[in-house]
């Protein structure tokens, strides 16, 4: 793995091709990606064009912060990023609202939907002193088995009591056991969203069809939203109907909820999955 940085002035498509020819390497580590730097977008636009027009199948690994957009995640995937480490900042925001782990999970879903494998760590110091936080976390972990599970950070291993560590190890182990790719996906049609749920915990394959405002709300929650955000978005829909719909989505584990925050879990179905009756 060759280590490079995007801000390196020598790092452009031509220089990278020359380096690949000289060193016979196509795998590169890019370090931490700055989602707001113009150089980031410019580099991956160039690499997407190179990969589409040549036989150079560059593969990149990088580290990304939480909160990147779907557009940037898609560009990273097109530009050759196949593995991403999520920057762990949860220890810095122990009382963060919304919960930092949910912000991380949002970014994991965005990257994973773009075809990028994600490795992430969490520090959950509030679990050992906040029963409500622990219950909400357990419910989210049980629902999110279609997404890559987290590792337990070294800080967490050293800073918490043994019984808490044992509990969290059990959670992440169960998550990893249940994890399967492409087991909770959606496809959009004219005026509706079709969800296919093949998570092992469901014991089979289930389909959900959401129409009109329900489909819009599900997609709106692809980014972390508060109940107030959703109410404003669904203006004109009776509030009791919005509440009933959200409760059904949470019960069916299609939307994760932590307190007042909501995040949809299905990822966009790829074209290949749409044409296949079974995803391997």
- The pLDDT assigned to 127 comes to 56
Query: Looking at residue 1, what is its pLDDT?
Result: 53
Confidence of residue 92 (pLDDT cuts 50, 70, 90): very low
Tell me, what's the pLDDT at 186?
94
pLDDT tens figures, 203-253: 789 999 999 999 999 999 999 999 999 999 999 899 999 999 999 999 999
pLDDT at 37: 85
Choice between 26 and 197, residue whose per-residue pLDDT is larger? 197
pLDDT in tens, 116-134: 999 998 766 555 556 667 6
Q: What is the pLDDT of residue 279?
A: 44
- Residue 91 region, left (φ>0) first, then alpha (ψ -120 to 50), else beta? alpha
Cβ-based neighbour number of residue 213 at 10 Å: 17
């Amino acid at each position: 793995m060759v280590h490079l940085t995007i801000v390196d002035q020598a790092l452009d498509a031509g220089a990278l091709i020359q380096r690949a020819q000289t060193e016979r390497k196509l795998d590169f580590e890019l370090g931490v990606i700055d989602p707001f730097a113009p150089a980031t977008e410019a580099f991956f636009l160039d690499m997407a064009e190179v990969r589409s027009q040549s036989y150079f199948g560059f593969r990149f690994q990088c580290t990304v912060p939480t909160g990147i957009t779907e557009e940037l995640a898609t560009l990273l995937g097109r530009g050759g990023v196949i593995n991403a480490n999520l920057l762990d900042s949860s220890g810095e925001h122990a009382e963060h609202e919304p919960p930092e782990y949910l912000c991380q999970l949002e970014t994991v879903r965005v990257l994973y939907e773009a075809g990028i494998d994600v490795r992430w760590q969490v520090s959950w110091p509030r679990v050992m002193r906040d029963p409500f936080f622990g219950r909400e976390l357990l419910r989210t972990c049980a629902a999110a088995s279609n997404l890559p599970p987290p590792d337990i950070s070294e800080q967490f291993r050293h800073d918490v009591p043994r019984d808490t560590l044992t509990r969290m190890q059990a959670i992440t182990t169960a998550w990893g056991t249940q994890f399967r790719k492409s087991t909770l996906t959606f496809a959009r049609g004219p005026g509706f969203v079709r969800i296919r749920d093949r998570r092992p915990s469901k014991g089979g394959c289930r389909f959900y069809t959401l129409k009109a405002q329900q489909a819009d709300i599900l997609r709106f929650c692809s980014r972390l939203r508060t109940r107030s955000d959703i109410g404003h978005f669904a203006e004109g829909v009776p509030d009791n109907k919005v509440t009933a719909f959200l409760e059904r989505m949470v019960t069916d584990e299609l939307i994760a909820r932590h307190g007042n925050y909501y995040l949809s879990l299905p990822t966009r179905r790829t074209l290949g999955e749409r044409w296949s009756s079974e995803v391997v």
